[in-house]
Amino acid sequence: MKQQAPKGTQDLLPEVTLNWQYVERTFEDLCKLYGYEEIRIPTFEHSEVFQRGVGETTDVVQKEMYTFEDKGGRSLTLRPEGTAGVVRAYVENGMGSKTSPQRLFYVITAFRYENVQKGRYREFHQMGVEAFGAKGPHIDAEVLAMLDHYFEELGLKDYALHINSIGCPNCRAQYREALLAYLRPKKDQLCQDCQNRMEENPLRVLDCKEKSCQDVTKDAPLILDYLDEECKDHFDTLKGLLDDMGISYKVDPRIVRGLDYYTKTVFEFVSENVGTQGTICGGGRYDGLVEALGGPSTPGIGFAMGEERLLMELEAQGLVKPHSLETTLYIANLNDAAHTEAQALAQALRRRGISVQYDLMDRSLRAQMKYAGKNNMDYILVLGEDELARGKVMLRSLVDRDKEEVEVGLHDIDTLAEILAED
Ligand code: HAM
């Protein structure tokens, strides 16, 4: 029987992987400019890492985790996001004793059992950063500037940065009471999940995707009105820094984010095109998470960008074109001797960084030409009896048909490589 990929997963075929490489390479180059180093973490963790890190009352932990018991009876979970695993690694490897701030980036797959729709998958990809050790708002501003810089590099338009502050446990205690006082009389209008978790974590009701809950919370009190002096200062300074850098933003007091670890600054980059799945990137500060996962009290901030959503957005704006970085050469070979010669020539040129293919199917010249065209090769040279006898080949551009052919010595690898590399 023909097998199908599981619901919510996708095969990324060669037509699109070039686009993925492009956004990832651009991201990695930018990370280096801002001092971020790569970390690679396991695909699965002990379930407790997410229960304690992401939070027991979140949708992610309550409904969306792929959790299983391994043969040793341990409860393991496929990572639904990167932050909790990175923090676990940071604590376990004593990374806090190295320089501060410690800046880490990652490119990962993540898994959530979600209702599948456009821009919402069960296996998806995130590019993210986490910065540990800096407490003040300057790093918040730097992280947002980095994202702004990234979108500028990609040429992205029509997106907006939404920011909010959800304060610290101190401000949240007061806010919690005000929110509960507002929600209690309306409890029976909430979905069953929200009714169950309301007393324990009323903030989650604000983040619920059910329409009935969204209707109830429309006029709920706003956390921004309950910030203590320190959290208010932090947020005001951040806004000033963003203004100084010319980064536009909108304060959206309704952003609470779907994960429990956030404190103070939270933010989302929202596309104006993708509709409800329009959040391309989300993040914020999590000053209590390192401690919650067994480390010393350490502030942290980061973000994760959904690659599927980013690429959808780039495509909608006509900004990703499959492109190859190297010049490509096709060697058409017309007999056995030419085949052997083509192989040697291809190896010599590949060692100099030129991407080369030659016929391996004993095809006719016509069929070989067709193959070179279909595979978007930049140059072609034909190796037949005549070329072998003369020890010379004609190099022809397939991109610019008006470009004159160049005659080059068959064994003059330097000249061939030079012409091809120039392109
Ligand atoms: P998040 O908002 O849950 O945050 O996810 C970040 C981004 O991942 C979203 O904005 C979205 O683009 C993408 N994403 C999430 N779920 C899906 C899905 N089912 N299908 C496709 N894309 C999806 C986090 O994960 C935090 N760890 C971000 C962070 C890092 N905060 C601090 N540091």
Chain segment 346-367, per-residue pLDDT in tens: 999 999 999 999 999 999 999 9
Distance 295 CA to ligand 1 centre (A): 24
Distance 64 CA to ligand 1 centre (A): 13
Distance 267 CA to ligand 1 centre (A): 12
Residue for token pair 């979108």 = 151
Residues of the chain with CATH 3.30.930.10: 14-168+228-316
Average pLDDT, the chain: 94
Mean pLDDT of 51-80: 96
SS3 call for 328 = strand
* Residue whose CA lies nearest to ligand 1 atom number 10: 281
Q: Which CATH superfamily is domain 14-168+228-316 in?
A: Bira Bifunctional Protein; Domain 2 (3.30.930.10)
Residue for token pair 């790569």 = 38
Alpha helices in 106-168 (DSSP H): 137-154
Query: To test ligand 1's pocket by mutation, which of 104, 257, 279, 290 has the most ligand atoms within 8 angstroms of CB?
Result: 279
* Residue whose CA lies nearest to ligand 1 atom number 4: 282
Alpha carbon separation from 159 to 102, 154, 203, 278 (Å, rounded): 29, 12, 26, 9
Tell whether ligand 1 has an atom less than 6 A from the beta carbon of residue 287: no
Q: Report the atom number in ligand 1 closest to the C-alpha of 122.
A: 19
Mean pLDDT of 47-58: 95
Residues of the chain with CATH 3.40.50.800: 329-422
pLDDT of 412 > 90? The answer is yes
* Residue whose CA lies nearest to ligand 1 atom number 8: 306
pLDDT in tens, 198-245: 999 999 899 888 899 999 999 999 999 999 999 999 999 999 999 999
* Residue whose CA lies nearest to ligand 1 atom number 16: 120
Q: What is the pLDDT at residue 99? A: 87
If residue 380 lies in a helix (H) or strand (E), which one and from where to where? Answer: strand 379-383
SS3 call for 302 = strand
Q: What is the pLDDT at residue 405? A: 94
Distance 380 CA to ligand 1 centre (A): 45
If residue 132 lies in a helix (H) or strand (E), which one and from where to where? Answer: strand 123-132
Rg value, the chain, Cα: 28
> Closest Cα to residue 184, out of 208, 210, 205?
205
Query: To test ligand 1's pocket by mutation, which of 88, 309, 311, 313 has the most ligand atoms within 8 angstroms of CB?
Result: 309
> Closest Cα to residue 45, out of 106, 107, 89?
89
Alpha carbon separation from 387 to 301, 322, 341, 408 (Å, rounded): 63, 34, 11, 10
Tell whether ligand 1 has an atom less than 6 A from the beta carbon of residue 126: yes
Tokens of 345: 């020539």
Residue for token pair 């900004």 = 319
Residue 288: DSSP 8-state: T
CB 405 within 8 A of CB 314: no
Q: What is the pLDDT at residue 32? A: 97
pLDDT in tens, 372-387: 999 999 999 999 999 9
Euclidean distance between CA atoms 376 and 355, whole angstroms? 12
CATH code for residues 329-422: 3.40.50.800
Tell whether ligand 1 has an atom less than 6 A from the beta carbon of residue 83: yes
Euclidean distance between CA atoms 234 and 415, whole angstroms? 61
For the chain, what percent of residues have pLDDT higher than 90? 88
Beta strands per DSSP E along 72-212: 75-78, 102-111, 123-132, 159-165
pLDDT in tens, 289-337: 999 999 999 999 999 999 999 999 999 999 986 566 678 999 999 999 9
Residue for token pair 């120039």 = 422
Distance 304 CA to ligand 1 centre (A): 6
Mean pLDDT of 85-103: 96
SS3 call for 98 = coil
CB 197 within 8 A of CB 204: yes
Query: To test ligand 1's pocket by mutation, which of 27, 61, 81 has the most ligand atoms within 8 angstroms of CB?
Result: 81
pLDDT of 98 > 90? The answer is no
CB within 8 A of 364, min separation 6: which ones? none
Q: What is the pLDDT at residue 276? A: 52
Tokens of 369: 């030409």
Distance 65 CA to ligand 1 centre (A): 14
Tell whether ligand 1 has an atom less than 6 A from the beta carbon of residue 53: no
Distance 361 CA to ligand 1 centre (A): 46
CB within 8 A of 264, min separation 6: which ones? 140, 165, 166, 167, 168, 231, 234, 235, 284, 285, 287
Q: What is the pLDDT at residue 274? A: 58
Tell whether ligand 1 has an atom less than 6 A from the beta carbon of residue 303: yes
Residue 79 — very low, low, confident or very high, per pLDDT cuts 50/70/90? very high
Q: What is the pLDDT at residue 324? A: 63
Residue 401 — very low, low, confident or very high, per pLDDT cuts 50/70/90? confident
